[in-house]
């Protein structure tokens, strides 16, 4: 895993770059958050491919646990991916509500992620 610290608009944003799954559970998300915070970024961009697929199955509870960590520690996460492939209404509603609150957002591109974290 590589963490690139971007500094658009005067805010530090950490972009996680990896070809592997980096978040399997809430502790992994917390570890990444702490690492990024240590490097000066409380806003994090990660790609859908770096998160265990079960995250997107809401009954697994992983998504809720990860969102709770970001809320508790006052950090933001933007997840870049293609969400049209998911047919679950509950997941679509979850993404919609998360995007409204803004703590964890689900976006389609790096440009959108940066804009959301601005």
Q: What is the pLDDT of residues 7-24, one digit of tens each?
A: 866 789 999 999 999 999
Name all domains of the chain by residue range, CATH numbers in brackets: 2-117 (3.30.750)
- The pLDDT of residue 111: 95
- pTM here is 0.94
Judged against a pLDDT cut of 90, whether residue 88 lies above it is answered with yes
57: tokens are 């199955």
Name the helix (H) or strand (E) containing 17: strand 13-17
- The pLDDT of residue 8: 67
> In degrees, to the nearest 5, what angle opens at C-alpha 29 toward C-alphas 75 and 111?
60
Q: What is the mean pLDDT of the chain?
A: 95
Half-sphere exposure of 18 (CA within 13 A, CB side): 18
Judged against a pLDDT cut of 70, whether residue 57 lies above it is answered with yes
Q: What is the mean pLDDT of residues 65-69?
A: 95
């Amino acid at each position: 895993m590589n963490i690139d610290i971007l500094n658009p608009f005067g805010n530090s944003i950490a972009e996680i770059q990896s070809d592997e799954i980096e978040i399997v559970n809430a502790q992994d998300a917390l570890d990444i958050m702490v690492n990024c915070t240590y490097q000066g970024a409380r806003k994090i961009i990660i790609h859908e491919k770096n998160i265990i697929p079960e995250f997107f199955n809401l009954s697994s509870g992983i998504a809720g646990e990860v969102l709770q960590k970001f809320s508790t520690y006052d950090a933001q996460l933007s997840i870049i991916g293609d969400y049209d492939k998911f047919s679950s209404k509950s997941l679509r509603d979850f993404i919609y509500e998360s995007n409204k609150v803004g703590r964890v957002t689900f976006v389609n591109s790096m440009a959108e992620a940066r804009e959301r974290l601005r």
